[in-house]
Structure 1
Amino acid sequence: MSPFSTGWSSGRRPCPAAVTWAVGFLVTAAVTVPVAELTPWSGGAAAGLAAMAFVVGLYGAATRSLPGAMATSATAWMFFDGFVVHSRGDLAWTGDDVVRLGVLAGAAVVGCLLGRAIARVRARAEAPVAPSPRPIATAKLLADTLVPVLADRLPAPGEQRRDRAFSVTNRRT
């Protein structure tokens, strides 16, 4: 699978990156309002950045689309910078914005990779297992080697065996 392939659930039905970015835009827009309202009470912009990175990571894991997740992280940075760090939607570039953008992009990449890893584990667990020809060959090999050995040790019909293990006369009654 290409590192730029996209997919919602199983990777079999690819979803265009533009669709995942558009849905990611709506997700980050919906999350920005609660983050902006709770940031002053939670200790500043770092807590808001952690919440936004968590959402971007979950979205990347759900979509497993690297281009869509990266575009969503850029959109999340714009919403975070405009409404959480600055007020009234004003975008301004400061020295901390590189770190914020890196945290959001890293969360998107890690979420996307975790989502793909989980999908591969599920696909392997659900994959049908083909019967192996090895047990049939092993059974035939056992039959070819053990039958002649057992045939030599078993008594012929009408003949009594004199072994202690097979002797009828050694039993206590």
Structure 2
Amino acid sequence: MFPVTAPHRPAPPLGPSRPTRPRITRFPQVGRRSTRPPHRVPTDRTLARDLALPLGAVGAALLVTALMLTGGTAHAPAALALFALLTVAVALRARPALVPVAALVSWMFYDGFVLHQRSELAFHAPDRTSLLVLLLAGVVGAGCAAAVRAVRRFRLPR
């Protein structure tokens, strides 16, 4: 009744409609130097730099807790020195753009829990002085970290 073969044209093959050309492999040229420097990953891209600010905030919260438990909040200058040391430590590891934020976080914990003890922030003379001290501590820490990085970069063989 019906023929076994179909009377129509076969379907086109799947894939590109135009003929493909073979790929030409480029081999490095011997004797010529590349003008581009080799790609190097910066050594300052570490997890410590990314986590310095959150760990600094946790450190400030733990420092406030320890000061409140030991009664150290009565000695505001000593507590400010501890917060300045914490800010320097955070600034040594943090990215330079985040150093003012780290100093501000330290100041907020110091001002809210050590000076005013009810988590209230104010901007009177002692508050401004402590903010200035913590900002200067952050700048000192960031400057020391930049100097260390510059010395390491200068001493590396090229």
Q: What is the TM-score of this pair, normalised by structure 1?
A: 0.57
Deviation at residue 18 of structure 1 after TM alignment = 8.0
Deviation at residue 35 of structure 1 after TM alignment = 3.4
More helix by share: 1
1:66 to 90, 96, 100: 96
Specify every segment of 5 or more residues in structure 1 that has no aligned partner in the other structure, as ranges: 1-8, 130-173
Deviation above 4 Å: which 4+ runs of structure 1? 17-20
Amino acid at match of 1:114: C
Q: 1:57, 1:111 within 8 Å by CA — same for their partners in 2?
A: yes
Deviation at residue 79 of structure 1 after TM alignment = 0.5
Alignment of 1:11-160 (within 5 A): 11=44, 13=45, 20-38=52-70, 40=72, 44-63=75-94, 65-125=95-155, 127-129=156-158
In structure 1, distance between residues paired with 2:90 and 2:51: 13
Larger Cα-atom Rg: 1
In structure 2, distance between residues paired with 1:111 and 1:39: 28
Specify every segment of 5 or more residues in structure 2 that has no aligned partner in the other structure, as ranges: 1-41
In structure 2, distance between residues paired with 1:90 and 1:55: 21
Deviation at residue 19 of structure 1 after TM alignment = 5.5
Figure out how many residues of one structure are paired with residues of the other and give that number.
116
In structure 2, distance between residues paired with 1:18 and 1:45: 31
Amino acid at match of 2:142: C
Identity %: 27
In structure 1, distance between residues paired with 2:83 and 2:69: 13
Q: 1:39, 1:48 within 8 Å by CA — same for their partners in 2?
A: no
Deviation at residue 123 of structure 1 after TM alignment = 2.8
Q: What is the TM-score of this pair, normalised by structure 2?
A: 0.62
